[in-house]
Amino acid sequence: MSRIIQLLIKNHVLILFFFLQIISFQIMNSKNFIVESTLSKKISEIRGFIFLQKKKINTYFLLEKENKSLIERNRELIHENFKLKHLIEEEKNNKIDSLNHTNITYQAKVVQNTWKKKQNHIIIRKNLESNVRKNMGVIEGNKLVGIVHSVSNNFATVISLLNTDLMISSKLKKTGHYGSMNWMGENFQEMLLLDIPKHAKIEIGDTIITSGYSNIFPEGIDIGTVKSYKVQENTNFYQIKVNLFVDFTNINYVYIIENSDKEERKIIEKNL
């Protein structure tokens, strides 16, 4: 036993050296594990980030494609809605189906829009093959937006409802009493409806629609709802404030409509 102790004392430096070597190897292995673990984590994060961005890009293009498909489907549904609404009215009143002469023709993207001026306009991008012309009606869904004013190869300018020079023939949906609507140049959410006789029954919230007396718009396009009303001084007519359905601060896509019998109607009207 004493010989073992003497041997340890004699070689204690060498033994200590080997002991420290063993510890250092363990520390190095431990550090390598930590480094590898950290590096692996970073690589996983980078891979995850790249995958996420790729997914976002793919989703963007997929949504863009789906959005175009939905716009086209919406165009078809609007057309069907016009037909169905008029069929219902025809059943009620045994009217001639004039709405079948109204076509939803083109869709377009809004590229510029103003709503703070007195005479506001909207610029739309149209397809080269589309036959958009002056004095065609413009709607968003089944809501009135304005009238085409001028056309170039790729674009068209639309006179917005928010234009003090524009008058719209409109009526109370519930009673059928009609008058003229005009924007007063102040609140972009309101227009003024005049010439409705004071014997007409009006309630807050009543819907205002196009009258159908115009060559541009068919009957039944939604314009807004009654906000308030009063009898004009020294007259027998109401002055009605109307809340517009269209949010003119947020228009992206519109549809352009036309009465296909417009020219024939003009000829008849000239002969009156």
- 124 with 72, same domain: the answer is no
Q: What angle do CA 229, 230, 232 make, to 5 degrees?
A: 130
Which position has the token pair 């890009």?
Answer: 57
User: Quick one: 26 and 83 in the same domain?
Assistant: yes
Residue 168 and residue 48 share a domain: no
Residue 138 lies in a domain: yes
Q: In terms of Cα–Cα distance, which of 97, 105, 132, 106 is closest to 219? A: 97
Return d(Cα 31, Cα 214) in angstroms, integer.
Answer: 84
The last residue of a domain, from among 95, 115, 135: 95
| Residue finishing a domain among 78, 95, 112 | 95
Whether 72 maps to a domain, the answer reads yes
Percent of the chain with pLDDT over 90: 43
Q: How many domains does the chain have?
A: 2
Decide which of 77, 95, 113 is a domain's last residue.
Answer: 95
- Please give the residue that has the higher pLDDT: either 74 or 171: 171
Q: Do residues 143 and 137 make contact, with C-beta atoms less than 8 angstroms apart?
A: no
Are 122 and 241 in the same domain?
yes
Tokens describing residue 120: 């506001």
The phi and psi torsions of 247 (rounded to 5 degrees) equal: -90, 100
Together in a domain, 13 and 67: yes
Whether pTM exceeds 0.85: no
Q: What is the mean pLDDT of residues 239-257?
A: 94
Compare 270 and 203 and report the one with higher pLDDT: 203
Residues 163 and 246 occupy one common structural domain = yes
Q: What is the CATH number of the domain that holds 154?
A: 2.40.10.350
Query: Is residue 269 in a domain?
Result: no
- Residues 252, 120 share a domain: yes
Q: Is residue 271 part of a domain?
A: no
* Residues 6 or more apart whose Cβ sits within 8 Å of residue 82: 99, 102, 104, 142, 218, 220
Better pLDDT: 125 or 32: 125
> Does pLDDT of 249 surpass 90?
yes
Tens digits of residue pLDDT in 52-73? 665 566 666 666 666 666 666 6
Given a contact cutoff of 8 angstroms between Cβ atoms, the answer to whether 118 and 188 are in contact is no
Ramachandran category for residue 234: left, alpha or beta (phi over 0 → left; psi -120 to 50 → alpha): left
For residues 74 and 179, membership in a common domain is answered with no
CA gap 116, 109 in Å, rounded: 21
Per-residue confidence (pLDDT) for residue 110, from 0 to 100: 93
Claim to verify: residue 113 and residue 39 sit in the same structural domain = no
Domain co-membership, 50 together with 117: no
- Look up residue 235 and give its amino acid: T
The answer to whether residue 270 is domain-embedded is no
Residue 217 binned pLDDT confidence (cut-offs 50, 70, 90): confident
In a domain, 179, yes or no: yes
pLDDT tens readout for residues 151-184 = 988 899 999 999 999 999 999 999 999 999 999 9
Question: What value does the mean pLDDT take over residues 134-139?
Answer: 92
Please, what is the average pLDDT of the chain? 78
Range of the domain at 16: 1-95
Mark whether 131 and 223 lie in a shared domain: yes
Judgement on whether residues 65 and 128 belong to the same structural domain of the protein: no
Which range has the worst mean pLDDT, 44-53, 119-128, 257-266? Answer: 44-53
The answer to whether residue 46 sits within a structural domain is: yes
- Give the residue, 262 or 97, on which the prediction is more confident: 262
